[in-house]
Structure 1
Amino acid sequence: MRADVEAAKADIEQSIELLRRRLDWDVALRKLDELNARVEDPTLWDKAEEAQAVMRERTRLANQVSAVQSLERDLADAVGYAELADEEGDEALLEEARGQLKAIKDRAARAELEALLSGEADGNDAYVEINAGAGGTESNDWANMLLRMYSRWANDHGMEVDVLEETPGEQAGIKSVTLQVKGTNAYGWLKTEAGVHRLVRISPFDSNARRQTSFASVWVYPVVDDNIEIEINPADVRTDTYRASGAGGQHVNKTDSAVRLTHIPTGIAVACQTQRSQHQNRDQAWKMLKARLYELELEKREAAQAAIEEQKTDIGWGHQIRSYVLQPYQMVKDLRTEVETSDTQAVLDGDLDTFMGASLAQRVGATRGSTLDA
């Protein structure tokens, strides 16, 4: 077998071994069998919340086990093709096998990164808040571009996106939006996007076609289960109701159905306006507030363990995590990891995996070598 094929095979085998060790393979298989047995028990659904937690855990573990098994099967097939091609001197078939091995290697690398998502809430759904910075219409349009970018990323990964609150800009774009992204490891991936995002381009709203710099902030926090206890004193929460903006029909526009909750001790505020009744919006807003306070607690723990809180900044725009330059040249660069690409359109269309992966690896301080040596 050719040397390059042997090298690719060895790299993939090393990734698979790492994944098996991270999963504690034999334990994971036994646990999956237990979860499958519980799912088949009709009495499980007598307690809906417990059943949902079991289903989520089974899905998470089944996906991890399936990913490893799929890598093993596909590696065996690709190596078999390469050996056959080598024996017959079929260069076209050998090149096809090389392409298969490259694709498998890329999948294995992503699976390694996903294995790093071991944080307490990494597997949860996520809330994503996007707020336009100073700059009026230009920044509002940039915030809307980020909304599109994250929605496309989520859809490309089989995740569902719900808009919980949206404040439109006066002329174009949005002033702010809150999304709920539903999918496996949504928070684990999206938490790497928290921070200030900077755009440089020729303004489409400037008749003189001058170059403009715009900012928008992204804040990410996990959706928490009801069984996670977060104590909130109702006396510490101010409730405001107002008329919802944007789409929603006559009912939304004529009643004070939208709800904003402000947690006075921390200054954290959340809002929801997408439900038809004030009661429904209030319930959703309380869930969001609970999630924000939970995320704050996780942040405190993380900051105590490693000084990475500097990756997050407030809406003061004093620091950005990523720059998107469309003029005078094309470049998206992450200022934390130095990862960059000139394919700006792909990034704005939701191709964020390279940036997320690099940031995640840096965030947990993990490399293949340090993990294998552990």
Structure 2
Amino acid sequence: MASNRPAPEAPFIPAPTESETFGYGSYRADEGPWEEWNPTEESITPVRGRHRVAKQRGGFARSSTVLGVGVIAAVGAGGMASANTGKPPVSLSLPDLPSMGSLFEDGSSPAPEASTTALSDVGVTPADTERNTGAGETLRNRIMAQAEQQQSKADSRATAAALAAAQKQSADAAAKAQKEAAAKAAADKKKADADAAKAAEAKRLAELAKQYTLPTSSYTITSTFGQAGSMWSSGYHTGLDFAAPTGTLIKAIHSGTVTQAGWAGSYGYRTVLTLDDGTELWFCHQSSISVSVGQKVGTGDVIGRVGATGNVTGPHLHLEVHPNGDATGIDPMVWLRGKGLNP
């Protein structure tokens, strides 16, 4: 806290013994005389800053006791005088502290109350308050602007992340749709290829059907290939039986050459027709044979008649198919269907 400059020391000037004294009946050496002193702007250090002594009610400041005594003595000597410099006197502000009388009290009376004014608010001018308020508002606005900027950046990042997620989801959906479309196209192509192949096979079989025919008509399938039974010496049926009345015509299934024609034991009367690819067709249990060995026949030509010769239980045509003339035959039903025929 700033304080007043110490007063210059007054030169000692003896005063007449008759001069008026202060507070005593006779002259005292310690009463002066003193040089009159008025504080001015040059002699007083201006109070700066906001740190000031809190005001208190009542009396002079204890630290100003000497100054007060000097002022009183000066008044008694001849009164206050103006400064010789010609400048107007400057008022001196003294903090309100307990009175001088309180210094000598025995403590029986209550102490004066201290001022409630905060040290940081003493001497603060409206301009200072306005300046501080403006600075605080500027700082607040700056903080709010930074917060808004950070929030804007966070919102931008969140928007960018959401956009990226949406783009990824859209890309994934597009890829999935493309994959599904490709799979569907492949399935459709496969189905179309299968349908085309099936149509081509049907056309081929139709063309073959013109070259092949069933061996007889007005028949009933009674025994199939591989059927087990004790009536067959091999333990299973080796051909396909077309049951029909005796004398029913037997036709050449396809064009070929007659390689056997005659009695064949348990097969009865049998005709063997060899096709151009080497496949042998056996027509067994005939009642009569209409062709001879070496004879070439065409599709649908009559080669014999249904009978019950050999090891049989009734009139029927026993048909066997032997690819390449093998001793073991194959299922005639499958072979006939492969030629476009449906027994």
Structure 2 length as normaliser, TM-score?
0.21
| Structure with bigger gyration radius | 2
Higher normalized contact order (CA 8 Å, seq sep 6+, divided by chain length):
1
**Larger helix fraction of residues:** 1
From the two aligned structures, give the one with the greater strand fraction: 1
